[in-house]
Amino acid sequence: MMSMTCHTLEFGRTGVDSVACGCSFNASLDRFTVKNRARRVLLSVHRGYGARKLLCCRRNIARCRVYSTKTSEALLNGIVPGPPPPVLEVNKESRSSISITDLFEVVAEDLLTLNNNLQSIVGAENPVLMSAAEQIFGAGGKRMRPALVFLVSRATAEIVGLKELTREHRRLAEIIEMIHTASLIHDDVLDESDMRRGKQTVHQVYGTRVAVLAGDFMFAQSSWYLANLENLEVIKLISQVIKDFASGEIKQASSLFDCEVELEEYLIKSYYKTASLIAASTKGASIFSGVDSDVSEQMYQYGKNLGLSFQVVDDILDFTQSAEQLGKPAGSDLAKGNLTAPVIFALEKEPRLREIIESEFCETSSLDEAIELVKRCGGIERAQALAKEKADLALQSIQCLPRSAFRSALEGMVKYNLERID
């Protein structure tokens, strides 16, 4: 059941080159002062404060059958030559020692600089649209994508003896953050979501028209800065990500309540919607560091498999966490007919689950019954194994990096993700 003969996706994408970001960061500032200020910013964000102060640590800054074109088996399985991947052990003793704030502290200054730059390139020109974007920026989040850009940038820079990040590294993080924010705004419109991380979504506050325009504006801004990099490689890499977002939404909309959906289709959709951007972020960062193509490809594999693992974990949490923890109703994906890994696995064992889903939950309490069946039939446990499989592949991919605080943080991200379901 785990066979992966997937079709479509071009994983050999390479990536990125240059442009000055106009960074206002003063290199002569006392690093101790900046680092501590940055840490306070990180802490305030993860406690839910300072929505307007923080644009840097802002990350989180329907039915026909459609099939994709071509993708190799190695692509989604993440098969690469070399020794078997390291086995990641997660235990309760180590759980309490991992936090996003601690993991990102080694790039806290970079995230603070990102904040300043995003304010200057996004905020002033369109205050109404920026206010709409701030609704999602202020909702909290892990700021994972720009942080990964900085972590990979610094980890790979050590290979070539690069002492400081380039302007291109910083611009890449800004572009990635804008694209991610735009995708979240549009996703909430398409999903008709009322809440994101416990706060009202943009379209609930400003209306659908402004929400769509705000997302379009963020995509347009990121595309303009992308074009100004004047490098065909990076334009192809990031442009494909934007295309993948649309492909993922089409695949999801075309398979709602479809109990014939297979695991490989779910993984392709998850790549399009989540892992593609993370993979482009990590690969692009390594290319700006000037490492060879083999290392860049490993960074791509790291981002891809980390992204897939994150998506599977998020889909598990949709069944195991409360509405308060999720910031949205539990089981909301299933209620909308979006069948994720736990459901796909459970469908193999429980005919009654198929009946309920195909009826589109027309009976009272049928959704609650379906959620219980997913849990009882081992869907959660098998999805946990899938998340761990992808996490192990991500860990294997960063063995090429020299040992450093930045590599440790990249490893910590993999572990942190799995601990969310431990």
What is the DSSP-derived secondary structure letter of residue 202?
Answer: H
* Arithmetic mean of pLDDT, 214-236: 85
pLDDT (0 to 100) of residue 48: 39
3-state secondary structure of 196: strand
Of 29 and 79, more confident: 79
Provide the sign of the torsion angle of the four alpha carbons 16, 22, 24, 30, taken in this order.
Answer: positive
Q: What is the pLDDT of residue 136?
A: 61
Cβ neighbours for 384, distance < 8 A, ≥ 6 positions apart: 316, 421
Distance CA 54, CA 137 (A): 8
Q: What whole-number percentage of the chain has pLDDT above 90?
A: 50
User: Residue 260 — very low, low, confident or very high, per pLDDT cuts 50/70/90?
Assistant: very high
User: If you average pLDDT over every residue of the chain, what do you get?
Assistant: 78
Average pLDDT over residues 47-65: 35
Nearest-angstrom CA–CA distance, 128 and 64: 37
Collect contacts of 331-338 with beta carbons under 8 A, ≥24 apart. Answer: 331/367, 331/370, 331/371, 332/193, 334/367, 334/370, 334/371, 334/374, 335/361, 335/367, 336/191, 336/256, 337/256, 337/257, 337/258, 338/252, 338/256
**Sign of the four-CA dihedral 374, 375, 381, 387:** positive
66 pLDDT more than 80: no
Q: How confident is the model at residue 54 (pLDDT cuts 50, 70, 90)?
A: very low
Cβ-contact 130, 123 below 8 angstroms: yes
Pick 377 or 196 by higher pLDDT. 377
In the chain, the N- to C-terminal Cα span, in Å, equals: 24
Please state which of the ranges 183-197, 217-231, 281-295, 406-420 shows the lowest mean pLDDT. 183-197
pLDDT on residue 344: 98
Q: How far apart are the C-alpha atoms of 61 and 140, rounded to whole Å? A: 9
Q: Please name the residues in contact with 83: beta carbons below 8 A apart, sequence gap of 6 or more.
A: 396
Tens digits of per-residue pLDDT, 350-384?
999 999 999 999 988 999 999 999 999 999 999 99
In angstroms, rounded to a whole number, what is the distance separating the alpha carbons of residues 250 and 62? 7
C-alpha count within 13 angstroms, C-beta hemisphere, residue 127: 1
pLDDT at 183 over 60: yes
Annotate 211-262 with DSSP letters as a single string. Answer: HHHHHHHHHHHHHHHHHTT--HHHHHHHHHHHHHHHHHHHHHHTTTT-TT--
Position 126 scores a pLDDT of 67
Q: By C-alpha distance, which of 147, 143, 178, 204 is closest to 328?
A: 204
- Tell me, what's the pLDDT at 255? 95
Choose between 48 and 108: higher pLDDT.
108
The band of 91, judged by pLDDT with boundaries at 50, 70 and 90, is very low
Give Cα 203 distance to the centre of its chain. Answer: 22
pLDDT of residue 68: 36
Confidence of residue 133 (pLDDT cuts 50, 70, 90): low
Tell me how far apart the alpha carbons of residues 195 and 134 are, in angstroms, rounded to a whole number.
14
Mean pLDDT of 40-62: 37
- Residue 201: pLDDT over 70: yes
What sign does the CA torsion over 18, 22, 25, 26 have? Answer: positive
Predicted pLDDT of residue 38: 47
pLDDT at 118: 76
pTM of the predicted protein model: 0.76
What angle (nearest 5°) sits at the alpha carbon of residue 410, between those of residues 99 and 60?
60
pLDDT for residue 241: 95
- Interval 139-180: pLDDT, tens: 555 688 999 999 999 999 999 999 999 999 999 999 999 899
Sign of the alpha-carbon dihedral angle for 199, 204, 206, 208: positive
Q: Is the pLDDT of residue 135 over 80?
A: no
| Tally of CB atoms within 10 A around 306 | 28
- The residue written with tokens 């300072």 in the block is 50
Residue 227 has pLDDT above 50, yes or no: yes
Strands (E), 49-201: 195-196, 199-200
β-bridge partners, 200: 195
* SS3 state of residue 79: coil
Statement: residue 27 has pLDDT above 50: no
State the Cα–Cα distance between residues 98 and 100, nearest whole angstrom: 7
Confidence (pLDDT) at 134:
66
State the Cα angle at 407 between 44 and 381, rounded to 5°: 80
pLDDT over threshold 80, residue 46? no
Dihedral sign from CA coordinates of 316, 321, 322, 325: negative
399 or 48: whose pLDDT is higher?
A: 399
Residue 312 has pLDDT above 70, yes or no: yes
Assign 97 a pLDDT band (cuts: 50, 70, 90): low
CB 30 within 8 A of CB 118: no
